[in-house]
Amino acid sequence: MDYKKMYEEWLNDPFFDEATKKELEAIKDDEKEIEERFYAELEFGTAGLRGVIGAGINRMNNYIVAKATQGLANYIIKSKKQSQGVVIAYDSRRCSSEFADVAALCLAANGIKAYVFESLRPTPELSFAVRYLGCVAGINITASHNPPEYNGYKVYWEDGAQITPPHDKGIMDEVKAISVQDAKQMPKQEAVHEKLYELVGKEIDDAYMAELRKLVLHQECIDKYGKDIKIVYTPLHGTGNIPARRILRELGFENVYVVPEQELPDGEFPTVSYPNPEAAEAFELALALAKEHDADLVLATDPDADRLGVYVKDKQGEYHCLTGNMSGSLLAEYEISQMKAIKGLPEDGALIKSIVTTNLVNEMANAYNIELIEVLTGFKFIGQKILEFETTGKGTYLFGFEESYGCLIGTHARDKDAIVATMALCEAAAYYKSLDMTLWDAMLDVYEKYGYHLEKIETLTLKGIEGLEKIKSMMDTMKNNTPSEIGGLKVLVAKNFSDDTAKDMVTGNVTPIGLPKSNVVYYELEGGAWLCVRPSGTEPKIKFYYGVIGKDLADAEAKSAEFGKAVIKMTESM
């Protein structure tokens, strides 16, 4: 693509508004910036769109949002499902409400009714709303936990999960086949008059909350201890504030302290550089408030409230950070053990995790005699399994999670749900308090029962065109040059998900992995250690996930530190 030619087109075509042209005129002497904005179109991938806000084909703006929506509309019309409508939600980021209206009015211009949330809502509620309203699709305007200069556009299909085959490819093909000038728009007043634009809110909020309340296993413990447990919570300037506080209040948790500096929605995320509950800085204000109130647990949801970060206090008053693997394992043990105790487990019960998630739950599944299913990274693949269970009548979903701080309890949504996770973790705190245990005690019990598995992640950020090329080069190296050992541990099996092969490095035997092809490399090493490498699907990063098993927590931490050094050394050599 001739980026200079495309730049000139945007500058001179009367189709583009004056604000866009003014922004582009300001970079006329910056060749590098022009190239970055126009060297390629912002790719509509399997997760939709995500990119830096700004003018240009490689940026998030009204024109790119409208083009994506026109492609989606074309696919819906070809599927003969336009009568079902599409529901649209958005988060607190810059331009989110504007992008939501652009999408809604493009749908309306195509004769497809748009149900638009009246104000910002969490991702899991959008997932719930798709099926609640009987829509063919859902759109969520969010860039999740990305820095403030980003926004995004996620597409959900009628099952409530993000798009998977064949719909993802079908929609992507439609988007690629058109230009930004092909996108239709209808004036808002006309769309409302034609009943093609409808605001929604309270009814769906109430229905969503009702579904969450059905998932409580030990209300009696909340009734007894809910008034004593102290909870500090931060929505990190995002969508979680109202729903998280509402469900805790309705269940009976009386001492919920919200970080005041991070309570209100703000797309600039002024108190953090990166609104990510995985980052330690996201908890600085919350931990200070926790120490002030002697809180039992500290919770943070990301801007679209699909991921939950957690700190828990032990009996000595020290706060411990739970990684996504730890909190997911803790919640899995609580939910599955209590389902078994209360009503027994179904014979076809299943626990689902992604390939980069802790192997601790493999042991858990064995202990409970339930099926352990591994899927590719991306919660939509867990949602896909839930749909498969429903359509075939084979399999009962018990719990699913990813290492990236996301899990789902129940099947009301088909995406990660930090609101239900917040509810369940606070309920678990009440239950374990009835046993004179803290959540940290419960976490240590999980380790004692299933082994001291410890996982970490190293991430390299490589921006721009050169960054993409470097990431590709690193992945090619990993696929074509399997190391014999990493950190002194022999590589036993090398899995290349790009060509669906698992090679036994001892015998040379090659077998299929059995999952869809994906740009991922996975090494199984001796001693139960492992390393998985994949590019991020949403950011200019390459990620190195790894795990070890120790005799105890200290041993696991020592092994993890040593293995982590070896991983960093390996990345530097590439």
Q: What does the pLDDT look like over 142-173, one tens digit per residue?
A: 999 889 999 999 999 999 999 988 999 999 99
For the cut 90, the answer to whether the pLDDT of residue 60 exceeds it is yes
For the cut 70, the answer to whether the pLDDT of residue 1 exceeds it is no
Mean pLDDT value across the chain = 95
- The pTM score is 0.94
Tokens of 133: 């309203």
Residue 25, CB-side half-sphere exposure with 13 Å CA sphere: 9
Helix (H) or strand (E) segment spanning residue 233: strand 230-234
Q: Residues 234-278: pLDDT tens digits?
A: 999 999 999 999 999 999 999 999 999 999 999 999 999 889 999
Give residue 569's pLDDT: 87
376: DSSP letter: -
Sequence-ordered strand ranges (E) for 452-516: 452-461, 485-486, 489-496, 501-504, 510-512
For the cut 90, the answer to whether the pLDDT of residue 366 exceeds it is yes
For residues 335-343, average pLDDT = 98
For the cut 90, the answer to whether the pLDDT of residue 462 exceeds it is no
For the cut 80, the answer to whether the pLDDT of residue 538 exceeds it is no
Rounded CA separation 89/306 (Å): 13
Contacts of 557 (CB under 8 A, 6+ apart): 454, 550
For residues 554-573, average pLDDT = 91
**What is the distance of C-alpha 303 from the center of its chain?**
11
Give residue 317's pLDDT: 97
Contact 532, 355 (CB under 8 A): yes
Distances (CA, A) of 140 to 88, 137, 158, 417: 6, 10, 14, 14
Q: Which of 97, 127, 144, 354 is an active site residue?
A: 144
Helix (H) or strand (E) segment spanning residue 51: strand 49-52
Give residue 47's pLDDT: 73
Tokens of 562: 């040593």
Please confirm, yes or no, whether 273 is among the known catalytic residues. no
Domains and CATH numbers, the chain: 1-34 (no CATH), 40-200 (3.40.120.10), 206-450 (3.40.120.10), 452-573 (3.30.310.50)
Give residue 110's pLDDT: 98
Give residue 451's pLDDT: 97
